[in-house]
């Protein structure tokens, strides 16, 4: 009986020591638990650039870290964050959504990390014979745009309003009457044109990526009618990994990060 009690006591002691010996309690193999993972919410136009930065971060900046990228329209991302979705970093395609995030207490402050401009893309076959910005108002054009609340659609509306002075006071109205559908974000609208489902769309210049260029042509919007898209980034106040989040922001703002962004058609923030 005494032997059984001794054996039982030794088992209890061993079980109590297991979490200490093996680091139980969610610390993770990289010694940081939540520190080993980083969740970045970013505007869909950043898909390719942030995809490359993810590789750099995981291999060079913080080996062993997993960067989880969630891309969508900035308005959708903001809604998800307002509803309590867990994230560490928010990168928006416009200042309005970031300002809303600040007002909601989601972030304390942000930094501008990139700028962009608008462009028109059309299928390489160009069935509607579109050659200029003005041609978007031609009757019968099948135009697709992102949803009205998505930043690129609001930038497009701003540009179209500017163009009323150049192409006629009803130019923007005529263009918008050609909109056949609204897509969830700028990437979705661009893909619709690439597969030939639409005659044209308005995107960011950075959306004319190498793989897309094989299927579409780009038409520039005159500088005086174009708009500047400003991209801010911030660490969320409720970030689970604030140190990692700041390292990601620092990478995006660094010379390396700016070089990667430029290679995908973005303009430097400064």
Write down the mean pLDDT value for the chain: 88
CATH architecture of the region 34-115+230-268: 3-Layer(aba) Sandwich (3.40)
What average pLDDT score do residues 183-201 get? 95
- Residue pLDDT, tens place only, 21-32: 333 333 333 333
Q: What was the pLDDT predicted at 27?
A: 30
Q: What was the pLDDT predicted at 167?
A: 98
Taking the chain, what is the end-to-end CA distance rounded to the nearest angstrom?
Answer: 78
What average pLDDT score do residues 130-146 get? 97
List, by residue range, all CATH 3.40.190.10 domains of the chain.
34-115+230-268, 118-225
What average pLDDT score do residues 197-217 get? 92
pTM: 0.83
Q: Which fold has domain 118-225?
A: D-Maltodextrin-Binding Protein; domain 2 (3.40.190)
- 73-189-95 Cα angle (round to 5): 30
What average pLDDT score do residues 33-53 get? 88
Kindly tell me if the per-residue pLDDT of 98 is higher than 60.
yes
- Residue pLDDT, tens place only, 150-184: 999 999 999 999 999 999 999 999 999 999 999 99
Strands (E), 4-130: 37-43, 66-72, 89-91, 111-116, 118-123
Residues 201, 181 contacting (CB under 8 angstroms):
no
Q: What was the pLDDT predicted at 36?
A: 81
Q: What was the pLDDT predicted at 210?
A: 80
Measure Cα distances from 86 to 34, 54, 81, 241 in Å. 12, 18, 7, 11
Q: What was the pLDDT predicted at 209?
A: 84
């Amino acid at each position: 009986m005494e032997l059984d009690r001794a054996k039982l006591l030794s088992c209890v002691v061993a079980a109590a020591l297991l979490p200490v010996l093996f680091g139980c309690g969610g610390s993770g193999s990289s010694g940081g638990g939540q520190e080993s993972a980083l969740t970045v919410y970013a505007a869909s136009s950043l898909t390719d650039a942030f995809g490359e930065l993810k590789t750099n971060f995981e291999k060079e900046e913080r080996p062993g870290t997993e960067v989880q990228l969630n891309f969508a329209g900035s308005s959708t991302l903001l809604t998800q964050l307002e509803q309590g979705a867990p994230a560490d970093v928010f990168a928006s395609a416009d200042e309005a959504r970031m300002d809303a995030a600040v007002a909601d207490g989601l972030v304390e402050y942000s930094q501008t990390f990139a700028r962009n401009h608008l462009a028109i893309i059309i299928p390489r076959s160009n069935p509607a014979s579109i050659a200029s910005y003005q041609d978007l108002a031609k009757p019968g054009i099948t135009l697709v745009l992102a949803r009205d609340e998505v930043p690129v659609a609001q930038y497009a509306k701003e540009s179209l309003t500017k163009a009323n002075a150049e192409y006629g006071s009803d130019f923007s109205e005529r263009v918008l009457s050609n909109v056949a559908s609204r897509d969830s974000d700028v990437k979705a609208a661009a893909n619709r044109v690439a597969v030939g489902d639409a005659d044209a769309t308005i995107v960011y210049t950075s959306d004319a990526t190498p793989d897309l260029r094989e299927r579409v042509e780009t038409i520039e919007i005159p500088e005086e009618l174009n708009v500047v898209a400003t991209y801010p980034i911030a660490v969320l106040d409720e970030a689970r990994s604030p140190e990692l989040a700041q390292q990601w922001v620092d990478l995006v703002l660094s010379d390396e990060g700016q070089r990667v962004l430029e290679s995908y058609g973005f303009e430097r923030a400064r």
